[in-house]
């Protein structure tokens, strides 16, 4: 049984425990996530939400969340979303391009929310089947402060290759 399949079985019994397991997996795969305090808060078929605190390790010289931490939480959250649909045992994922627009200073912890449309995800799956081994899609992610204010929005060009 693959690790992701085990997490999904745990999710049926306890979504909180499954989120904790997902957080541990991300921190194991990307050690920077552990240093930043990355935490998975919510995972569904349609949405993934994860948070990074504002603390000594994530704060910049003006007292807000460092740009690198903001981009990293968005990219990791997008990865959690995509690996649910396209397991790493079958696909290799790389980000080929990224675009970010910043709207406000991140004066608190920030939460990345990845909610790609079903059309985008279905199109990616369809392209992988039609082309056989490679497909790409732009995946949007929002970054919100604890007050719900939109801090930034990004989109990542996710490129998948089969196995």
Q: Tens digits of per-residue pLDDT, 48-63?
A: 999 999 999 999 999 9
State the Cα–Cα distance between residues 141 and 40, nearest whole angstrom.
14
57-115 pLDDT, tens digit per residue, is: 999 999 999 999 999 999 999 999 999 899 888 889 999 999 999 999 999 999 999 99
pTM: 0.92
State the Cα–Cα distance between residues 38 and 127, nearest whole angstrom.
32
Q: Minimal CA–CA distance to 39: which of 55, 58, 54, 26?
A: 26
- Residues forming beta bridges with residue 143, ordered by sequence position: 112, 152
């Amino acid at each position: 049984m693959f690790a992701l399949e085990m997490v999904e079985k745990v999710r049926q019994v306890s979504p909180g425990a499954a989120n904790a397991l997902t957080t541990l997996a991300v921190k194991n795969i990307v050690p920077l996530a552990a240093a930043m305090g990355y935490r998975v808060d919510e995972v569904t078929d349609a949405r993934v939400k994860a948070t990074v605190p504002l603390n000594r390790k994530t704060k910049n010289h003006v007292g807000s969340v460092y740009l690198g931490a903001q981009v990293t939480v968005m990219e990791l959250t997008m990865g959690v979303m995509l690996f649910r649909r396209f397991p790493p045992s079958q696909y290799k994922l790389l980000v080929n391009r990224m675009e970010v627009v910043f709207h406000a200073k991140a004066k608190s912890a920030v939460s990345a929310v990845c909610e790609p449309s079903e059309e985008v995800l279905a199109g990616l799956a369809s392209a992988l089947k039609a082309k056989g081994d490679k497909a790409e899609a732009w995946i949007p992610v929002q970054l919100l402060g604890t007050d719900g204010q939109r801090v930034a929005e990004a989109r990542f060009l996710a490129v998948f290759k089969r196995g």
